[in-house]
């Protein structure tokens, strides 16, 4: 066995999100986020009592968690800022200095320990007051409000933080949040809400990027992007139709956001298909909104690195018997997707262990969007019930298999993958699943006030990989 080592400057890290770990939902002037609102008004959407009110209590445990990150040897920590903690009204007229102080302390301590902060501005938990006025569907609110928020974060933290992402997984924010319902605010408007949300979100992203260029880049010299996720869609056969089917799925998912920020507009196949299906529904215009020329110019190139939250793989097959179908965000109805029964399962039904998909995926991203600015794996991890402490053969092995495929992508395919953020340091609140599903390398005792963190075998494994920069035992 030869040693499998990674580039010297490979950025090893952990990723997390505010709602999933912080707790302190109303501490020190924080207002309710859309997730807090759901936890308090729709408790039946969560397993009994398992919500983010206290979560891992990370809000009160900065020193504990910094010590764990330091022990783990990671070079970076990806976390999100809770918008309602720093701007309780959502707008700039009311800055909560105590909220700012919490993040300043976290950032300073990360830096003091040589851990690079990678900050997400929006990981799904915008202020409920913003949502009450339409949230991401209200373009005359969400765009200016987000720009105020982003500007504040750069003013306050931009000297220290060099890695920024505006939005986490807009496909989920918009699809799950405003189209078919699966993440807060859990609104349903199939085939319309998701596209409108995404359109506003992309414009907010591009305008924020422009503000960074004009007001901050020269003195702060950081990088700004957004975090994209998708399953990898692999052709079900080498029939050219299945190859086309997989390409469509990848463009409808990753391309929905990557295409605008790289090239300035949605993929052509999305524009054509959605217009065509809208005509079939006798609508006078396409359900997919269009960008103005000015917006296209702002969007084009509005990123300093590419990202991928990498989880699973599906096979894509062309269908000749395409259903007319109801309006839906799944306008790529010319394709069926599935996962063979013999693929390795996890606790989550859609989430199968398919390490080779990781390699294909980053190669595809390079081939379609370029890798000169680098591709950062912003999340990857293994789902179980969170309680198995001897998880070397499951979670440890999972990271090892995915990482060895990423290593092949780097050294055999020449893809510029610049780092890997494991999800996650510790068990957390997996959204509406509470702590029934978890991916942490540390167990958290959610039934003790201390929220005690205890390392699983996977923590030891990942620590070894990170500190040796190498995947096999004898490095």
At closest approach, how far in Å is the CB of 171 from ligand GCO?
9
Per the structure block, which two tokens stand in for 419? Answer: 């780092």
Of residues 71 and 350, the one with the C-beta less far from ligand GCO: 350
Non-local (6+) Cβ contacts of 112 within 8 A are: none
Of residues 72 and 438, the one with the C-beta less far from ligand GCO: 438
Interface with ligand GCO (CB under 6 A), residue from 65, 169, 298, 332: 169
At closest approach, how far in Å is the CB of 168 from ligand GCO?
5
Of residues 309 and 313, the one with the C-beta less far from ligand GCO: 309
For residue 117, what are the CA distances in angstroms to 58, 131, 154, 240, 413? 16, 28, 13, 44, 29
With b for 16 or more beta-carbon neighbours within 10 A and e for fewer, the 425-451 pattern comes to bbbbbbbbebbebbbbbbbbebeeeeb
Is residue 320 packed enough to be buried (19+ CB in 10 Å), middle (13-18) or exposed (0-12)? exposed
Q: Which of residues 363-402 bind ligand GCO (CB under 6 A)?
A: 379
- 309 binds ligand GCO per the rule CB under 6 A: yes
Of residues 408 and 430, the one with the C-beta less far from ligand GCO: 430
Q: Which of residues 432-471 bind ligand GCO (CB under 6 A)?
A: 439
Residues catalogued as catalytic: 169, 379
Interface with ligand GCO (CB under 6 A), residue from 172, 231, 346, 405: 172
Stretch that binds ligand GCO, among 40-48, 49-57, 167-175, 201-209 (CB under 6 A): 167-175
- 423 binds ligand GCO per the rule CB under 6 A: yes
For the chain, state the CA radius of gyration: 21
Of residues 181 and 301, the one with the C-beta less far from ligand GCO: 181
Non-local (6+) Cβ contacts of 88 within 8 A are: 29, 30, 31, 94, 96, 99, 127
At closest approach, how far in Å is the CB of 25 from ligand GCO?
17
Asked if 231 and 349 touch (Cβ cutoff 8 Å), the reply is no
Closest to 302 (Cα-Cα) out of 175, 425, 201: 201
Of residues 182 and 290, the one with the C-beta less far from ligand GCO: 182
Q: How many residues in the shown chain lie near ligand GCO by CB under 6 A?
A: 10
Give the number of C-alpha atoms closer than 13 A to the C-alpha of residue 395, restricted to the C-beta side. Answer: 33
At closest approach, how far in Å is the CB of 1 from ligand GCO?
31
Helix (H, G, I), strand (E, B) or coil at 198: helix
Give the distance, in angstroms, between the CA of residue 12 and the centroid of all CA atoms in the same chain: 17
Which residue's CB comes closest to ligand GCO? 169
At closest approach, how far in Å is the CB of 426 from ligand GCO?
12
Stretch that binds ligand GCO, among 3-11, 165-173, 199-207, 357-365 (CB under 6 A): 165-173
Binding mask 8-27 toward ligand GCO (x if CB under 6 A, else -) reads: ---------x--x-------
Q: How far apart are CA 414 and CA 411, in angstroms?
A: 5
At closest approach, how far in Å is the CB of 382 from ligand GCO?
9
Of residues 11 and 227, the one with the C-beta less far from ligand GCO: 227
- 430 binds ligand GCO per the rule CB under 6 A: yes
Which residues here bind ligand GCO, judged by CB under 6 A? 17, 20, 168-169, 172, 309, 379, 423, 430, 439
């Amino acid at each position: 066995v030869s040693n499998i080592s990674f580039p010297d400057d490979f950025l090893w890290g952990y990723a997390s999100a505010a709602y999933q770990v912080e707790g302190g939902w109303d501490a020190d002037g924080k207002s309710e986020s859309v997730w807090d609102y759901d936890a308090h008004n729709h408790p039946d959407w969560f397993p009994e009592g398992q919500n983010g009110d206290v979560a891992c209590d990370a809000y009160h445990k900065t020193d504990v968690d910094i010590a764990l990150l330091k022990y783990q040897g990671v070079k970076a920590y990806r976390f999100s800022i809770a918008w309602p903690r720093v701007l309780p009204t959502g707008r700039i007229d009311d800055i909560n200095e105590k909220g700012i102080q919490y993040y300043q302390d976290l950032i300073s301590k990360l830096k003091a320990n040589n851990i690079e902060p990678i900050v997400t501005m929006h990981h799904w938990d915008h202020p409920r007051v913003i949502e009450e006025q339409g949230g991401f569907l209200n373009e005359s609110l969400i765009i200016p409000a987000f720009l105020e928020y982003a500007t504040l974060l750069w003013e306050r933290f931009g000297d220290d933080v060099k890695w920024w992402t505006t939005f986490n997984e807009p496909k989920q924010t918009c699809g799950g949040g405003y189209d078919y319902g699966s993440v807060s605010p859990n609104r349903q408007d199939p085939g319309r809400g998701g596209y409108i949300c995404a359109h506003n979100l992309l414009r907010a992203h591009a305008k924020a990027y422009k503000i960074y260029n004009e007001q901050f880049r020269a003195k702060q010299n950081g990088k700004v992007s957004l975090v994209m996720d998708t399953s990898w869609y692999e052709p079900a056969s080498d029939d050219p139709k299945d190859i086309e089917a997989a390409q469509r799925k990848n463009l409808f998912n990753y391309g929905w956001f990557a295409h605008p920020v790289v090239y300035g507009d949605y993929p052509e196949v999305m524009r054509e298909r959605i217009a065509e299906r809208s005509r079939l529904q006798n609508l006078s215009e396409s359900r997919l909104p269009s960008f103005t020329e000015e917006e296209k110019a702002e969007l084009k190139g509005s990123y300093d690195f590419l990202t991928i939250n990498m989880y699973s793989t599906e096979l894509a097959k062309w269908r000749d018997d395409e259903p007319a179908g109801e309006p839906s965000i799944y306008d790529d109805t010319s394709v069926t997707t599935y996962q063979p029964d013999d693929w390795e399962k996890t606790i989550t039904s859609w989430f199968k262990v398919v390490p080779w998909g990781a390699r294909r995926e980053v190669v595809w991203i390079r081939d379609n969007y370029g890798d000169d600015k680098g591709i950062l794996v912003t999340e990857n991890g293994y789902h179980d019930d969170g309680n198995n402490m001897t998880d070397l053969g499951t979670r440890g092995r999972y990271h090892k298999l995915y990482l060895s495929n990423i290593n092949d992508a780097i050294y055999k395919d020449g893809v510029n993958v610049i780092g890997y953020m494991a999800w996650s340091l510790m068990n957390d609140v997996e959204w509406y699943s509470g702590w029934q599903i978890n991916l942490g390398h540390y167990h958290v005792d959610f039934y003790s006030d201390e929220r005690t963190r205890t390392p699983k075998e996977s923590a030891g494994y990942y620590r070894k990989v990170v500190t040796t920069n190498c995947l096999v035992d004898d490095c």
